[in-house]
Structure 1
Amino acid sequence: MPPTGQFHLAVLPGRTTFEEELMGAEVNSGRNTSLEALLAEFGYTHEQLADEVNRTAEQLFGKPANCTDRHVRRWIAGDVQRPWTQYLLPLQEIFGRGPEAMGFLERKSSKPLPTPAGPVQVRNADSLQRRTFIAGALVATLGIDQTPGHGRLGSSDIERIQGTISRLDAHFNGLGGGALVDVAVEYLLRLRHALDHCVYGERVERALNRAMAEVAACAGWSAHDCGQHERAAQLRNEALQAALLARDPVSVTRAWSDLAAQAEHGGRPAEAARINRAALSERHVRNHPLLSSLLHSRLADCLAQTGDPKSMGRHLAAAERTYDRVEVTGTPSWLRFLTHAELAGLAAIAHQSAGQYVHGEGHAARTLELLDERFTRNRAYYTVLLAELQLAQGEYERASATASSIRMDAVSSSRITARLERVTEVIRSQGGRT
């Protein structure tokens, strides 16, 4: 799994020549048939594997490994029993196997796989270990490790991929971004690998690109939930590119809407409003009432931020009217969060942006009354919003009680945690109870 940050290896020699590569590596007497079989199984040529090692190394270490097809030939020929770590770790990521399973021999002189260098506090190390454990468990639970890496893909493979995407979306709505961002990014890489190395027809190709757009969008919101805004922007751009390649109008509209949200959260509500208006003008949106309702709600918040409360009200009303035409059957997994409760919550957000705190509080309270129990993350978000709206009215005791009711132990979202901390700090500064 690719780490979230750049790791500096404790043992990462800078040798790039083959004479230096052989230093410290004993000569093997036999051909590495295990590695040779893996290349055949995954469909790699020597040059393609070298390129994949460099790409994976850049994700792991922040720079390529300078691997060439000659390195690969020497590994297969058995000239090197165990490659340097700068090659070995990417190989493990690519094939999902340990060194011995790839035909490399254990050397008594070999050092253990490196860990991130630099002083790390115990608290942070524990947190990292916990996130790594959760992410590893999610890979297995969500079925990401079953993504095909070679062979011919058909409709059954697409169905399994869609099932995994549904589980990704449900996890985000239930628990938040947290460890999910790395898991979603890993799944995106696996789907890209399938797109590059599997055999399929045009229909499956479009479905794969649509799946990549959906996963990139989920990863983008997860990154946003973790406060990783640059990463979120990059992932949302990837989602748009994949949606365009899929030639899927709904996926394209979703990608544009997410980029509008990116602009809004970046302090550019007028830009976000223009994007949402353009998305609403597309013909296919008229036949997709749930998507239309979401776009109207998000546009309403943008207009509130630009000082146009009348237009905000019109679009909130349009969101309600459009939602009345929604049919539950056939709803994409990423849109299943948009219930009557969520619609009230989006109205509360818009009223908060417009400075209409009493109306906003009413909508937020209605959201919490209607919200399904499975949306743990969203419940925490709207409870914090309710406390913010109460604070804005000077209701410190009520805000304190609201904030105290929030349980963040079941939610993994630094974005929500940061907002709750700000609410708590304001309450404390006013002498309120928490």
Structure 2
Amino acid sequence: MDRQRNTRLEALLAEHDYTHRTLADTVNDVAVGIFGKPGDCTDRHVRRWISGEVRWPWTKYLLPLEQIFDCPAQAMGFLPRGKNSAQLARPPARQSPASKELEPVKRRRFLAASAAATVTLALGIDDTPSQGRLSMSDVDRVQSVIGRLDAHFFAIGGGPLLSVCTTYVDRLRDALDGCIYGDRVEKALHRSISSLYASAGWAAYDTDDPAHAALLHTASLQSALLAADPSAAARAWSNLALQARIEGRHREAVQITRAALDNRRTRQNPHIASLLHARLAIGQAKTADRTGAARSLLAAEKAYDRVNAAATAPTWLAFLSEGELSGLAAIAHQAMGQYDRAEASTVQALDLLPSSMRRSRAFYGVQLAELHLLQGDREGAAATVAALDHSSLDSRRIADRLANVQRTLTA
């Protein structure tokens, strides 16, 4: 019989991000749960299967392969030697409960109930496998969930998302510990965990818990480094710079932001570069570097001008728009005592921000009221507060700032 290349098995290796060596190692690991001892598979075996030199491997290899790829041997492109050989002998007593959970119906688990169960349900957060084989399609589902979490944050603020994000991180860390995957999936999972830690940090910020937020942003950076992802690392550095600014460490905030901008790939990404330059401007304004702040604001505008409108930005950057950049510029102007310019930039931000960005609109609405008060315009502040839409917004930090404005107005 002519040798015929097993293109189906070759495609499975590519789909699940396996090399010949890593597949052989995984076959040996899975064999322990089936036969009670490691297998003796090598990369040479895998090459012979793909080349078609071996068209029906021994059972000690086929059973692990069926578990790894979650499909029967013939679906992997193998051809039985005869009708009897297709009936694989399966050791009845060796299969562990863990390996049985590899069946498609049983391999998924829903997130445990938590204080944020209502939000979890509303977002439609899918269950995440804690055992079995993970592929990029699983990662795509995770990214879809993270996108919905980001949209939820932009709509109502951090509030209940803190426990949702940290619970989801735990699920993904369980997947990292208990599942089988290739290098590409591993890095993608670390990238997802970094994103969730960053979102959790912002949720902690909204609940006015800066110490917890700092820990979460540091964890976000650690996962970004494990993912070897410059964009995720830039996000984490940016959040750590903001954290330093919140805690009054303005020079440190400037140093962190500059360090993030030192990365060439970060500077070349117009979305991230514009955000970092705008936040650098705020730090420079806080340290009385007016020339540097003006230069950074201009750099932020130039970077944003390079944004390709047709390109899709990461979901966590969905908030970044001309309106958001105007709002950030207003913070810098306010820090330099330029209240009239800060007010004009804040008004522009509110004009440009879409209604779906309710959290940002509330944030800059309160900022505008504060600027009115700083300039002695109590009527303007009262009108701005009256026009604020903060119903169902879940951000203690914004709520506390609004309460301070209202107390001032009624004093």
TM-score normalised per structure 1: 0.69
Give the aligned CA root-mean-square deviation in angstroms. 2.0
* Equivalent residue, structure 2, for 1:310: 291
- How far apart are residue 142 of structure 1 and its match? 2.8
SS for the counterpart of 1:409 is: coil
Map residues 22-421 of structure 1 onto 2, 5 A cutoff: 132=115, 135-328=116-309, 329-421=311-403
Which runs of 4 or more aligned residues in structure 1 lie more than 2 Å from their structure 2 counterparts after TM superposition? Answer: 36-43, 94-98, 140-145
Q: 1:96 to 1:277 in 2, by over 3 A?
A: closer
- AA aligned opposite 2:359: R
- AA aligned opposite 2:198: A
- How far apart are residue 239 of structure 1 and its match? 0.4
Contact 1:376 1:410 in 2 (8 A): no
Map residues 5-16 of structure 1 onto 2, 5 A cutoff: none
Q: 1:155 to 1:388 in 2, by over 3 A?
A: same
What do residues 221-255 of structure 1 show as CA deviations (whole Å, max 9, x unaligned)? 11101101111111111101100000111111111
Q: 1:354 to 1:140 in 2, by over 3 A?
A: same
What do residues 400-430 of structure 1 show as CA deviations (whole Å, max 9, x unaligned)? 111122232221000000000111111112x
- How far apart are residue 355 of structure 1 and its match? 1.3
Contact 1:139 1:145 in 2 (8 A): no
* Equivalent residue, structure 1, for 2:404: 422
Partners of 1:38 and 1:224 in 2: how far apart? 42
- How far apart are residue 37 of structure 1 and its match? 8.1
Partners of 2:214 and 2:100 in 1: how far apart? 35
Q: Which runs of 5+ in 2 are unaligned?
A: 1-94, 103-108
Percent identity over the alignment is 46
* Equivalent residue, structure 2, for 1:114: none
Partners of 1:216 and 1:96 in 2: how far apart? 17
Partners of 1:96 and 1:412 in 2: how far apart? 22
* Equivalent residue, structure 2, for 1:101: none
SS for the counterpart of 2:288 is: coil
Bigger drift between 403-412 and 372-381 goes to 403-412
Partners of 1:165 and 1:416 in 2: how far apart? 23
Contact 1:42 1:149 in 2 (8 A): no
What do residues 41-95 of structure 1 show as CA deviations (whole Å, max 9, x unaligned)? 569xxxxxxxxxxxxxxxxxxxxxxxxxxxxxxxxxxxxxxxxxxxxxxxxxx98
- How far apart are residue 39 of structure 1 and its match? 5.3
- How far apart are residue 173 of structure 1 and its match? 0.9
Contact 2:286 2:336 in 1 (8 A): yes
Partners of 2:403 and 2:360 in 1: how far apart? 17
Contact 1:348 1:359 in 2 (8 A): yes
- How far apart are residue 184 of structure 1 and its match? 0.8
- How far apart are residue 145 of structure 1 and its match? 4.2
Q: 1:38 to 1:422 in 2, by over 3 A?
A: farther
- AA aligned opposite 1:263: A
What do residues 308-336 of structure 1 show as CA deviations (whole Å, max 9, x unaligned)? 12211111111111100001312100111
Contact 1:174 1:375 in 2 (8 A): yes
Q: Which runs of 5+ in 1 are unaligned?
A: 1-35, 44-93, 99-130, 430-434
- How far apart are residue 200 of structure 1 and its match? 0.3
TM-score normalised per structure 2: 0.72
Aligned length: 310
Q: Greater Rg, structure 1 or structure 2?
A: 2
SS for the counterpart of 1:424 is: helix
SS for the counterpart of 1:147 is: coil
Contact 1:41 1:150 in 2 (8 A): no
Partners of 1:295 and 1:41 in 2: how far apart? 49
Q: 1:217 to 1:96 in 2, by over 3 A?
A: closer
- AA aligned opposite 2:401: R
